[in-house]
Chain A
């Protein structure tokens, strides 16, 4: 895919008991093992979120970001969105508008561009959404 894929899915911000979440789209034309995915940055209203408070959810499974590199049998399918969950209760309440920032990288495990170097695309997105 490419430039037209918006990383943060429209209208996906949700407030929950244990924090808030929003969804992200896969910016590539084929599914990738989750071991190829990295979350580089999440920010709420221009304040960076410590990444150890972020969880990545796909296919009904939830992972701490540090676990992703080991999850090579879990695939992120092109049509599915993944959920980024931030374990910060009370930061986002239903009905509130918030500015979200996300930055993710996808390493394409089949496109080698040098000794132990593989093509890696970084996608960033900023979006203001009203939580549900």
Chain B
């Protein structure tokens, strides 16, 4: 049985990166506009919008909680990074990785988040070592399932095996909806054309991608069509894209701690061009998922060369679509 409105709507402030970078919006503005759009769960990236991280002041955390109270929002997820190549000439040791993860768990806890996005490169054994700290700080850790990875990659399987072995409810997954890329995003295809790719070759690549039947022979085929360097670059992108059948989520339902509602282009009719949310959201309800779907707009980088980015309008449309698919009145 599925019940309406158990899934909650939120936004990742990542969505507003363009306006934030250009100083058109402050951190508080990002929170205020999210509340206005009905995205009441706030996901944040410290390295993006919190200057001074990892050494944030008590005053910063006080401001943060003040904004949450003022705008009626709830902190949901902190997106952590693991900068394993930070030091000269060597990678982080296990102790350093664990210390970095614990540092971020403390930050998530101080923000009031109950979920932390673990970047996909976080090793499984570090997740296992961090589980007791996650429990201590009451923050569930979710490894991000993000293209080019999907459930069938050895790296993700190693995580899933580790979670099964450790058996902690504080270890889980955060599927990024970009793993359900059914069509080649139009904003990316159009950008290749602007950069000099041939429109008929771009169309051919989009057609081949949309069949999800592999790309064997694609490079040879487009070379025979007269492909240039941009055409070949676009064909190469396909290697980093995935289309997973949305019902696969059911196999991992108990592990889902949060959802990254990745999108590239919300159309005026309230659909996403390349990601089939109308198929995905019903599956998430069937999963019994009761956390947040965070709208995560990533089309900015593909249009900023010619258009003024309007992240707020894109998030507004994504939220309206989610509200419709969740059966909200």
Binding site for B on A (CB under 8 A): 1-5, 29-33, 35-36, 69-70, 72, 75, 77-80, 107, 109-112, 116, 118
Contacts and interface: CB of A to CB of B under 8 A. Distances in A.
B86 A72 contact: yes
B85 A70 contact: no
B21 A1 contact: yes
A70 B21 contact: no
B305 interface: yes
Contacts of B85: 36, 107, 109-110, 112, 118
A79 to B, nearest CB: 6
A69 B48 contact: no
A109 B87 CA distance: 9
B21 A2 contact: no
A2 B84 contact: no
Given A1-B18, A78-B21, A79-B23, A30 B47 contact: yes
A31 B52 CA distance: 10
Most buried by B among A1, A3, A31, A72: A31
Most buried by B among A32, A107, A109: A109
B84 A112 contact: yes
Interface string B67-90: 000000000000001111111100
B14 interface: yes
A30 B21 CA distance: 10
B14 A110 contact: no
B82 A30 contact: no
B136 interface: no
Contacts of A1: 17-18, 21, 301, 304
A87 B240 CA distance: 44
A61 B200 CA distance: 52
A53 to B, nearest CB: 22
Contacts of B47: 30-32, 75
Contacts of B119: 110
Interface in B70-119: 81-88, 91, 119
B213 to A, nearest CB: 27
B121 interface: yes
Interface in B149-174: none
B20 A79 contact: yes
Interface in B286-329: 300-301, 304-305
A29 B48 contact: yes
B48 A35 contact: no
Given A1-B18, A79-B23, A110-B121, A33 B86 contact: yes
Interface in B121-167: 121
A111 B121 contact: yes
Given A1-B301, A112-B121, A29 B21 contact: yes
A80 B52 CA distance: 12
A29 B51 contact: no
Contacts of B17: 1, 29
Given A4-B305, A30-B48, A116-B91, A109 B20 contact: no
Nearest to B18: A1
B277 to A, nearest CB: 24
Interface in B11-38: 14, 17-18, 20-21, 23
B222 interface: no
A88 B205 CA distance: 52
Contacts of A30: 45, 47-48, 81
B53 interface: yes
Contacts of A35: 86-88
A110 B83 contact: yes
A100 B146 CA distance: 39
B229 to A, nearest CB: 16
A4 B81 CA distance: 24
Contacts of A36: 83, 85-86
Contact of A79 (B51, B87, B300): B51
A64 to B, nearest CB: 15
Contacts of B82: 110
Most buried by B among A4, A72, A118: A4
A79 B24 CA distance: 11
Nearest to B49: A78
